[in-house]
Amino acid sequence: MLLLRRRAALLTGLALGCAGLSRAQALEAPGSDVLLTITGRLRRPNQPGQAAFDMPMLQRLPQTEIVTRTPWYATPRSFSGPLVRDVMAAAGARGDKVQAVALNDYRVEIPFDDLMRYDVVLATLLDGKPMQVRDKGPLFIMYPFDRRPELRTAVYFSRCAWQLVKLEVQ
């Protein structure tokens, strides 16, 4: 009888632990205006068929800063925010490529492998300040050009979508 109680307690503990793990891994729902929507191949959507992120959700992810030169600014600038791979992981996204879509409907295809191999930042801050739409914000995909000089090509510059609103995982 004691053995059965111990087994029941163990199974109950395992069930509760697994249920807690599932809740901990689920993507929370946005509590304010959605800035970024991820669609396509997702395992953890928080809305039907998509993962929606507001600024607080992006700010709760680990943050990274890169200082780099770009064709759009005369001097090196600081770009801060979560790594795009961490945003993708939060949504359970996995694919071969990602189509980045900007506010003006600019679209660019990014190999998913880029997001895993390079520290590509989803910049929410420029020089420590939030970016307004007129300043290429509020979200800007930025590659670490100065850390990885081989990225300083037109191909990688074109993958830096500013005023980002959507990522389509394929």
pTM given for the model: 0.84
Instruction: For residue 46, give the CATH number of its domain.
Output: 3.90.420.10
Tell me which residue range forms the domain holding 67.
Answer: 29-169
Query: Rounded distance, CA 19 to CA 159, Å?
Result: 39
- Whether 120 maps to a domain, the answer reads yes
Task: List, in sequence order, every residue forming a beta bridge with 142; answer none if it has no partner.
Answer: 121
Q: Is residue 22 part of a domain?
A: no
Residue 12 is assigned to a structural domain of this protein: no
Full pLDDT tens readout for the chain, 170 residues: 433 333 434 333 333 333 333 434 679 999 999 999 999 999 999 999 999 999 999 999 999 999 999 999 999 999 999 999 999 999 999 999 999 999 999 999 999 999 999 999 999 999 999 999 998 999 999 999 999 999 999 999 999 999 999 999 99
Contacts of 24 (CB under 8 A, 6+ apart): none
Tell whether 10 is covered by a domain.
no
Q: How many structural domains compose the chain? A: 1
State the Cα–Cα distance between residues 46 and 1, nearest whole angstrom: 44
